[in-house]
Amino acid sequence: MDLKGSRCVRLNDGHLMPVLGLGTYAQEDVPKSKAYEATKVAIDVGYRHIDAAYFYQNEEEVGAAIREKIADGTVRREDLFYTTKVWGTFLRPELVRQSLERSLKKLKLDYVDLIIIHIPVAMKPGEELLPKDASGKAMLENVDLCETWEALEKCKDAGLTRSIGVSNFSHRQLEMILRKPRLKYKPVCNQVECHPYLNQHKLLDFCRSKDIVLVAYAALGSDPEKEWVTKNYPLLLEDPVLRTIANRHQCSPGQVALRFQLQRGLAVLAKSFTEKHIRENIKVFDFQLSSEDMEALLGLNRNLRYFKDLEFVQHPNYPFFDDY
């Protein structure tokens, strides 16, 4: 992979991941063409890491944008880092490869850089992404995540993906994979919600000790319009401490929130479909937060989780009951 020029972290399998990624998920009522336009703008202004998923139903659009930017000579495939995810309805080991092949077909690419288990909560397989029974109750099922992991290892060996990882895993669930007999590849990352109000310091310490990169989502505090996002929570980007630090550095609260994660050694995602924000969010490599700024930001931690799902709490693998 040639990702020279974009700032990267070395993953535990030897591949490079650009530390800033474009998030591409928006709620259902946002046209998918927005993901297409945003991905093109992002590549034009220098983003080299794109985060999408089968579940987001945007892989045709994101793939088209990527292929267009390759065709017009802006980037080469090997300059880009593309992440997809295996949704909960594909966690049975015999469905994992099929999920990745479906993503590749939509993308019209022949490999992805990374595929991660989207969430450890398995659901009844089928075309329905959130299967419900007649009474409207979510149809969850139990799978052995170690078997799911073995299926992902085979996808890597088959060359369909460069790297494999997880998302929304607790340290206990990660430990279970790491202790699996005959483990062939460790997860390269755990993508989790992470921002000053939920700074994940315990999970970060754990991941660091295992050479697993923590990838932060909702790093800007997400968007209360999204259906999984808890309403009436304080808005991160309106936090007075973030505002004060931003003023001192003549930057925006969003840039402070992103820079905070980079200085802690995380990779960080920022979703934006607004050109002004897309441009602003990549300008996080030319200023530095002081140790006092970092301390003040770490002081904002308050165990505030924006992403919750009431249905998933019924599942034995629901990850957010664990302390970390």
Site for ligand WDT in 214-253 (CB under 6 A): 226, 228
Strand, helix or coil for residue 115: strand
Rounded Cα gap, residues 155 and 149, in angstroms: 10
Amino acid identity at 265: G
318 in catalytic set: no
**Per-residue binding letters, 113-152, with ligand WDT (x by CB under 6 A):** -----xx---------------------------------
Smallest gap from Cβ 40 to ligand NAP, in A, equals 15
Q: Write down the catalytic residue from 47, 54, 56, 318.
A: 56
**Per-residue binding letters, 35-54, with ligand WDT (x by CB under 6 A):** ------------------x-
The b/e string for 150-163 (b: 16+ C-beta within 10 A; e otherwise) is bbbbebbeeebbbb
Residue 89 sits in the site that holds ligand NAP (CB under 6 A): no
Residues touching ligand NAP: how many (CB under 6 A)? 29
Residue 309 sits in the site that holds ligand WDT (CB under 6 A): yes
Decide whether 89 or 161 has the Cβ nearer to ligand WDT. 89
CA angle (304, 308, 314) in 5-degree steps:
130
Residue 230 sits in the site that holds ligand NAP (CB under 6 A): no
Rounded Cα gap, residues 276 and 279, in angstroms: 5
Q: Which does 308 bind (CB under 5 to 8 A by kind): ligand NAP, ligand WDT, none?
A: ligand WDT
Amino acid identity at 182: R
Residue 49 sits in the site that holds ligand NAP (CB under 6 A): no
Q: What is the CA radius of gyration of the chain?
A: 19
Residue 79 sits in the site that holds ligand NAP (CB under 6 A): no
The b/e string for 288-312 (b: 16+ C-beta within 10 A; e otherwise) is ebeeebbebbeebeeebebbeeebb
> Could you list the active site residues?
56
| Positions that interact with ligand WDT (CB under 6 A) | 25, 53, 118-119, 168, 226, 228, 307-309
